[in-house]
Amino acid sequence: MRGRIWKVATFAAVFALVLGACTREETQPEPAPTGTNGQAQPEAPASLLDEILERGTLRCGINNTVPGFGFETTGGQIEGFDIDHCVAIAAALFGTDSPEEGTHYELIPIDADTRFSALRAGEFDVLVRNTTWTSSREGTEGVQFTKTNFFDGQAMLVPAEVGAIDDLDGAVICVTAGTTTELNLADYFQEQGLDFEPLALEDYDQIFTAFRRDRCDAVTGDRSALAGLAPIWAEDVGELTILEDVMSKEPLTPGVLEGDADWADVVFWVTNGLVLAEELGVTQDNVADEAEDPSTPGIAALLGAPFAEDEEVNVAHGLELEDTFMQNAIAAVGNYGEIFDRHLGPDTDIGLERGLNALWTDGGLQYAIPFR
Ligand SMILES: N[C@@H](CCC(=O)N[C@@H](CS)C(=O)NCC(=O)O)C(=O)O
């Protein structure tokens, strides 16, 4: 299996593209602010939410190396499904339909291994970076997860000649350090009675280098991430396949630092509102009309608009946001389905079906909590 013949002719160009997109600055987490000897600090904001509103800019910890989720284009723009979730939160917070990068929100690339310490150190306000919700991350790492925006599973990317997971008995498997992927790999191979040797590396940049140099036989990761990377890598190393095995559950979920319920609520309700918008048929195109004259009471509640002209807004949700926050979020990025289609759907290079991420009404797991 080792010693494949690589197509080197196109390597330089593809590698430069991937390397360029993968490069990120080293992050040095600062210790979390501790206050001054327990003295009361009356001027300190009560919640991170107040701090963000005062600052006027939302800081999102994101990925810039995973196509479709958070990926830096050759033009230097970071785009993707997770990035749109960040933009939606900024729109909701700052009451604007077109939040601008650098003004309303900042994208802070962060690698897998340091994402939680960076969150604790206050380097960003919300982690929207293909991050799996697990018990130890919520317990030990101090993350408060909000609403799962992508139900994923772990998969194995292999050269096309590898037919099944059993062919990987004794193989070297590349994996990103500090991920659930690293832990699940061991469990899954043990379950299957297969031997393997892990090669844990910092990021996809290093993994791709190792893979093309035959230092590993296969690469494991979130299926969605591998689906985006496979076509790019295949241009260099030849045909690649993602095996059918679903090695784990990976509920990818935006998270905040625990202990700040108001801020966690904002991230939850914006993320949830995007799904509800899809359920109710509210889109980027029709949101302004629906806000003006809602088709149903449910839409009126989502958009913070009166249903009938002489009515008050009928939902006092009590969140620390304007009633109309979802109008701005939907106008900025569209509903959940529109975000999915734009970055991951069948018309993109990644070409994912909705699968588990279909609405519950279509047999999927995306189910919005009511605005009521
Ligand atoms: N969802 C998993 C994996 C997240 C993760 O970091 N995935 C890797 C690959 S599966 C990644 O995004 N790598 C990009 C990079 O570090 O360059 C987790 O939360 O631990």
- Centroid of ligand 1 to alpha carbon of 6 (angstroms): 25
pLDDT digits (tens, 9 = 90+) for 271-296: 999 999 999 999 999 999 999 999 99
Distance CA 330, CA 204 (A): 32
> Is the CB of 112 inside a 6 Å radius of any atom of ligand 1?
yes
* pLDDT exceeds 80 at position 5: no
- How far is ligand 1, taken at its centre, from the CA of residue 179, in Å? 6
Give CA–CA dist 275/88, Å, rounded. 12
What pLDDT does 34 receive?
44
Fold adopted by 49-150+252-281+324-362 = D-Maltodextrin-Binding Protein; domain 2 (3.40.190)
Q: Whose CA is nearest to atom 8 of ligand 1?
A: 176
User: Whose C-alpha lies nearest to ligand 1, atom 17?
Assistant: 203
| Res. 128: pLDDT tops 60 | yes
Number of neighbours of residue 37 by Cβ within 10 angstroms: 5
Ligand 1 centroid to Cα of residue 63, in Å, is: 8
pLDDT-derived band at 309 (thresholds 50, 70, 90) equals confident
- Quick check: CB of 279 below 6 Å from ligand 1? no
Task: Please give the pLDDT value at position 133.
Answer: 98
Q: Do domains 49-150+252-281+324-362 and 154-248 have the same CATH topology?
A: yes
User: Considering the domain 154-248, what is its CATH architecture?
Assistant: 3-Layer(aba) Sandwich (3.40)
CA 364 to ligand 1 centroid distance, Å: 24
| Cα(212) to centroid(ligand 1), Å | 19
Kindly list the domain boundaries of the chain, sorted by start residue. Answer: 49-150+252-281+324-362, 154-248
The phi, psi pair for 129, rounded to 5°, reads -145, 80
Residue 223 vs residues 99, 150, 165, 236, 326: alpha-carbon distances, Å: 30, 11, 15, 20, 30
The CB of 82 under 6 Å from ligand 1? The reply is no
* pLDDT band at 7; cut points 50, 70, 90: very low
